[in-house]
Amino acid sequence: MSPIEEVILNKKTNVNPIWIMRQAGRYLPEFRRIRKANPDFIKLCLNEKLSTEITLQPLIRFDLDAAIIFSDILILPYGLNQKVEFKKGVGPLLGELNLENILKLNESDFVEKVHSVYKLINSVKNSKIIKNKSIIGFVGAPWTLMVYMINRESPKLGLKKNFFENEDLIHKTLKIIEKFLKVHIKCQIENGAQIIQIFDSWAGLLAEKNLKDYIYEPTLKLVEYVKSFNVPVICFPRNIKNYKDYCNIVNPSVICIDYNIDPKEISKDIRIPVQGGMDPKILLTDKENLKKETKKYLDIFNDHPYIFNLGHGVLPETNPQMMDYLVKMVKDY
């Protein structure tokens, strides 16, 4: 059993497992080299050999306790034939959402289009370096995926005023997302994913009155689905205002917290295992400060089952030496 699973299943508090969101990515020169030669990001995700290599890159450098598969949450709309592009400096841009065509798709059409993701998981599973480490598969939460599929670009500046106007569109899109996310989760698990993380990056955009319909209910269905395979599920409802309510209603195996929430409040209010929290910008400062902030999280969660991670993805400007320092520190603490 990997240290991460020990914490999740046995609620152990005497180990400090660590992995980092976006650990495989742009802060690593070895990733940038591959990325430069592969301008089409989705194609790169679906290149089984290269995506396996990228998944394992951070594990070669650092003593992390998990591999998160190199893929993207937007593989889902891609698999449903909605065009997905990544523009430098802009982020993801999606093509027209054609529900009529999507409704004609069946599960095997989707699986055929994204099957390389499952092959990647299988090949990660067969690599030697993965011994005693967890393989984390992931999906976007229904709400966050719906935002991208309808908004067709990042809602960095907030949702468009008329976002909720077309209820029929929202309802149908959520139904489709749920159906195919289940397929995507099942195939990841069948091919070797031992934990599933659900990324709800835009959870913080919603008003209280909309949480039930767009976050709690759709996410709960997926959490129950993952658990039906006896696989733990980590939820990351970034910037949600009330983590306590979220945990009580959605009941994930682990709650991943962002860096805007006070960790002391979480350790007081929440009984399930916790992951994450530290601001990724701390890695851009100096070792002294990194040590102080890391200690803060480890001390607060000293008597709580805790998986060290950041409160969002590691930033591209991060010096890999700082990551090295962080991982060693957490392991030796």
Residue 156: CB minimum distance to ligand CP3, A: 9
Residue 43: CB minimum distance to ligand CP3, A: 12
Strands 84-87 and 91-94: antiparallel
Chain residues binding ligand CP3 by CB under 6 A are: 21-26, 35, 41, 68, 70, 72-74, 86, 91-92, 138, 154, 199, 201, 313
Residue 100: CB minimum distance to ligand CP3, A: 25
**Closer to ligand CP3 by Cβ: residue 68 or 223:** 68
For tokens 């919603």, name the residue. 206
Residue 201: CB minimum distance to ligand CP3, A: 3
**Closer to ligand CP3 by Cβ: residue 204 or 264:** 204
**Closer to ligand CP3 by Cβ: residue 25 or 192:** 25
Alpha helices in 15-129 (DSSP H): 29-37, 41-45, 48-61, 75-79, 99-103, 107-125
**Rounded to whole angstroms, how far apart are CA atoms 152 and 85?**
10
Q: Counting beta carbons within 10 angstroms of the beta carbon of residue 61, is it exposed (0 to 12), middle (13 to 18) or buried (19 or more)? A: middle
Radius of gyration from C-alpha coordinates of the chain: 19
**Closer to ligand CP3 by Cβ: residue 35 or 172:** 35
Query: Would you call 84 helix, strand, or coil by DSSP?
Result: strand
The tokens describing 247, both together, are: 């945990």
**What does the DSSP 8-state code read for residue 308?**
B
Residue 313: CB minimum distance to ligand CP3, A: 4
Q: Which residue is nearest to ligand CP3 (CB)?
A: 201
**Closer to ligand CP3 by Cβ: residue 55 or 267:** 55
**Rounded to whole angstroms, how far apart are CA atoms 167 and 137?**
31
